[in-house]
Each structure stands twice: as structure tokens, then as C-alpha cells.
Chain A
């Protein structure tokens, strides 16, 4: 049983690397959606030690509905309306960003043992997966030009935060988790609106177009 949980964690990290490497936005969105689905599965798998089953079920189904269904649907709508398919010329190329992502994964897995945790560790892969996912998200946000990929990076970052939050499912009240999920949804809405405006003003989603001023 423990090995299935291992597999899910490893798959989450592999999906991080896949998102870093893929230039097709559709594939990247699907990967992030799958990652969200895996996270909700993870909430269930790790919950065998937890006390409040209803709480865990609520969290898992909420995460699945928002991370794996609603947000990917919104993202697909966004790329359909903006009519973009690929990320062109990221600031950091695909091979270097994959190597950077791999380095982050290695560091996360090598050094996460030394980190002091306030609660007992639930699974040896939990903290490194969270760190690696957050790192991947940050990398995506800073290294891509298209607003859609930057939003995807934010989502991946948020997934990392969620993995870390799983550590606290016993302690953290429902309200805080609901707050996290709603936060995310609100952020995606705001970004959707921003993206729509960038697209209307500049006829593209390239954020570089906003660095130069016009009179």
C-alpha cells in the first residue's frame, strides 16, 4: 500500500518535469489537471491515519472539482479564446529549464530530511514533493512569456502548497483549506480577466509587450 503512495508522489514530480518540458499549452494544462487529480487521490491515500474521514473526503472532492475539472476547463477556454497553442521562445529554454527543474527535484529530495517539521512526518516523500513542485511553479512563472503559462506556473506552485498542506490535514480546520481553494479560484478568475485584457489590447498574450510604454 505504501508503494502506491510512493508512486503517486513520484508521478506528481514527473508531471512537474513534464510541464517544464512541454511547449504545447494543451498538453501542459492536461498535465496540471492530472496533477490536481493525483493530489486529491493523495489526500485520500494519506488519510488512513487521520481521524476525521468526512473532512478528508470533503477536501479530496473539493480539490478534485476545482483543481482537476474547473480550472483546467477555464484554462482551455482561455487558450481557445486567445487562439494560442504553443509557448514560443521561453526566456529560459526547455532543456535548461528541465535541467533546473531536475536540479530542484534532486536538492529537494536530498536535503528535505534536514528540515525540522512542527508535526510528525506522514510520508518520507511528502515534503520533497511539495518543495520540488513549488520550485517548478516558480520556475514556470519567471521563465515563460505567455500569460497562460505563467498562470499554469502559479497553479503548479499552488499544487505544491496543497501537498504541503496535506501534512496538516489533521490539524488544519476546514475553513483554512476552503480558503486556500477559493483563493486559488479567485486568482485564476482575476488572471483570466487580465489575460483577456492583455489579449484585447495587444492582440497577443505576450507579457513582454507590456514592458515598453506608449504615449
Chain B
């Protein structure tokens, strides 16, 4: 039990930057480029951690606290998430609310730190991020409600645990709709391409990237690491929801889970390669569409 908990923790702490590497490699291959090494995100983090940070004189403690609180909140949310269908490190009824709001806390502090710089540009990014998040949150909660209704459990460990396999047999259309909706939320929450382009610094289109322009050194490393961990969390949710089988051995489940996560990263990279970024006015439409899909899934379950 203790060994498994450590394994989960190790997965949560070590795997996330690899996902970014896979996403970038898939994008590079599809674009006909060589691309950076798959482990590039680890090198970047190591390099940033060795550097010093520069702080503007207009900033206060909020700016320095932002990255640390952001990373801590995302990592705590990771404790609540079951890996490969096994119970999470911490779990209680209704913990999905805490999960969603820990992510919201991380976003809140990133936005505060952006506002603290006093730059109008960063304020604009914070406004965009928060307004899109307010539309992604209902969709995320509706997905959780669909899962809770389908499995009859109120904790993340219960929803994504052994009860998921029978739920797939009984309510596959509803769960499939919820999975599609969750994938859209994942793209929006992690600032991936149909919503935001993580690889440009073009003023008019940036959402997430613009908020972290003033961070440097270890702070930037925390932010990058937190962002990759958030991608990992959503990926873990999505992979477990889609591959909700029952496995005979724990290690087989873990292997399938890690394979699924890599496939998820490849799927994100594929989506980024084949889709153009949406106009900002179309993003709310996509998120409302995701919410409507989850509502439909819920109605299918409730009737």
C-alpha cells in the first residue's frame, strides 16, 4: 500500500514534463520538423532552477507567492486524483469540488501575480484567462456530476475506481459524451491550441502565456512545472475515464495508464497540429458546447 502510494506520487512528480515533450514531438513530426528532444522540458526546468529571479520594483509579495502557491495547489489536487483506478492518496466524499477549486486557486494566484506587475498587457491576459475559465468550470463540474451519477460515488477515487467498468456497460453514450466534453475542457484549461497557442508570444492572441511574462528563474520553472502537472491531472482524468476497464493486476493497470497518458499527449499534439486557433469570440461557444454536451449526458443518465 505504502509502496503504491509512493509510486503514484513519483508518477505525479516525474511524469508531467515528459507529456509536454511528447506533445511537442508529435507537433514537430506532423509539421515535418525534427523538434526538440522529448526530455527538453526537464532540461528547461533544471536550467531555470539554477538561475536567479528578477523582480520588478512595482511588484509586492503577491507576485513572488503566485508561482509557489500555484504549484502547491496543483500538486495538492494531484493527491486527490486516483491513478489507474486505484484509490488516491487522499479521498473523501465530495473531493471533486476541492479538486476543481484547488485548480481555481492556482489560476487565481497566477492571475493575481499577473495583475501585481501593473502591466496592462498582463492584466488583459488575466482577464481572458479568468473569463474563459468561468465557462470551462461548469463543463468540468457537469462531467463530474455525470460520473458521480453513473457510478454512484461522490469521491474521485470512487468515480474513477472499479465502479467505472460496469458504468461503461450501462451508460456508454453518456460517458462518451462526458469524455468528449472533458477533452474540450482539458484543451481550454491547459491553454492548448483551439483556445490558446502555448508556443507563441503574439500579443493579440495570448491568454495564459501573457500572464507569466514577468516571471523568471525558479518562479518560471514553478509555473512551467505546474502547467505540465495540470496537463497530467486532466490527462489522468481523461485516460481513466476512457480506459475504464477492470484489470487483474495493479501493475498491468499502471502500465496501461502510463501508455494511455502518452497516447493522450499524442492526441493533444495531433489536435494542435490539425486545428487552427479559434477566434477569441468563438472560444466561449466551444466551451458552452462542451457544457451542453455534458448536460445532455446527464439527462441521458437521469431519465
- What residues of chain A have their CB less than 8 Å away from a CB belonging to chain B? 3, 6-7, 9-10, 13-14, 17, 21, 94-95, 98-99, 101-102, 105-106, 109-110, 113, 124
Contact = CB atoms under 8 A, between A and B. Distances in A.
Interface string B259-303: 000000000000000000000000011001101110110011011
Contact of B292 (A10, A101, A110): A101
A99 B172 contact: no
Interface of B is mostly: helix
Contact of A102 (B173, B284, B295, B303): B295
Given A106-B299, A110-B299, A17 B293 contact: yes
A174 B295 CA distance: 38
A132 to B, nearest CB: 9
B293 A14 contact: yes
A6 B299 contact: no
A98 B285 contact: yes
Contacts of A3: 172-173
Nearest to A101: B292
Contacts of A95: 284-285, 288
The 7 A-B pairs with the shortest beta carbon distances in the complex, nearest first, are A102-B292, A10-B173, A109-B299, A6-B173, A106-B299, A95-B288, A94-B285
6 contacts: A3-B172, A7-B173, A10-B296, A14-B296, A21-B285, A113-B303
Contact of B177 (A10, A94, A106, A113): A10
Interface in B205-220: none
Contacts of B284: 95
A106 B289 contact: no
Interface in B111-165: none
A98 B172 contact: no
Contacts of B296: 10, 13-14, 17, 102, 105-106, 109
Nearest to B294: A102
A101 B296 CA distance: 11
Given A21-B285, A106-B299, A98 B292 contact: yes
A98 B299 CA distance: 16
Nearest to A107: B299
A21 B173 contact: no
Interface of B: 172-173, 176-177, 284-285, 288-289, 291-293, 295-296, 299-300, 302-303
Interface of A is mostly: helix
Contact of A110 (B291, B293, B303): B303
Given A6-B172, A98-B292, A102-B296, 19 more contacts: A3-B172, A6-B173, A10-B177, A10-B296, A10-B300, A13-B296, A14-B177, A17-B289, A21-B289, A98-B288, A101-B292, A102-B292, A102-B295, A106-B295, A109-B300, A109-B303, A110-B303, A113-B303, A124-B303
B173 A17 contact: no
A99 B293 CA distance: 10
Contacts of A94: 285
A10 B172 CA distance: 11
Contacts of B300: 10, 109
Nearest to A93: B285
A139 to B, nearest CB: 13
Contacts of B173: 3, 6-7, 9-10
A6 B300 CA distance: 10
Interface centre among A10, A94, A105 (most CB of B within 10 A): A10
Nearest to B172: A3
Contacts of A124: 303
A150 B123 CA distance: 42
Nearest to B135: A95
Contacts of B288: 95, 98-99
Contacts of A21: 285, 289
Contacts of A110: 299, 302-303
Contacts of B172: 3, 6-7
Contacts of B292: 17, 98-99, 101-102, 105
A146 to B, nearest CB: 18
Contacts of A13: 296
Contacts of A6: 172-173
A6 B173 CA distance: 7
A102 B177 CA distance: 14
Contacts of B303: 109-110, 113, 124
A14 B181 CA distance: 12
Interface centre among B284, B285, B296 (most CB of A within 10 A): B296
A13 B297 CA distance: 11
A96 B302 CA distance: 24
A100 to B, nearest CB: 10
A98 B285 CA distance: 8
Given A105-B299, A106-B296, A98 B289 contact: yes
